[in-house]
Amino acid sequence: MLELDFVVQRGDFHLQVQHNLLHPVTGILGPSGGGKSTLLGAVAGLMKPQQGTIKLDGRMLFDSNSRIHIP
C-alpha cells in the first residue's frame, strides 16, 4: 500500500494529497497543470514536498518532521 499525505508548494501552485493507494497499478488523470507530474515526482523522490509523509508498505520514504527523504 502507498500512503500519501503531503503538500508541495511551487510558486502559485499548491498540491495537497491525502490518499492511500491499495492496488499495484493506478492511473493518474487530470488537466494540464493539475499536478500529475508533481505527484509522481514526489512519490519517486525526485521532488521534496514541503511537509507531510509518504509511506510504501509500511516503510517511511518521506517524513518532513523526522527529516527522512529516501528517493
Rounded Cα distance between 55 and 60, Å, is: 4
Exposure string of 16-29, with b = 16+ CB inside 10 Å and e = fewer, is ebeeeeeeeeeeee
Chain segment 1-36, per-residue pLDDT in tens = 999 999 999 999 999 999 999 998 999 999 999 999
pLDDT of 48 > 90? The answer is yes
Q: What is the pTM of this model?
A: 0.89
Mean per-residue pLDDT, 40-49: 94
> CA 64 from chain center: how many Å?
12
pLDDT of 71 > 90? The answer is no
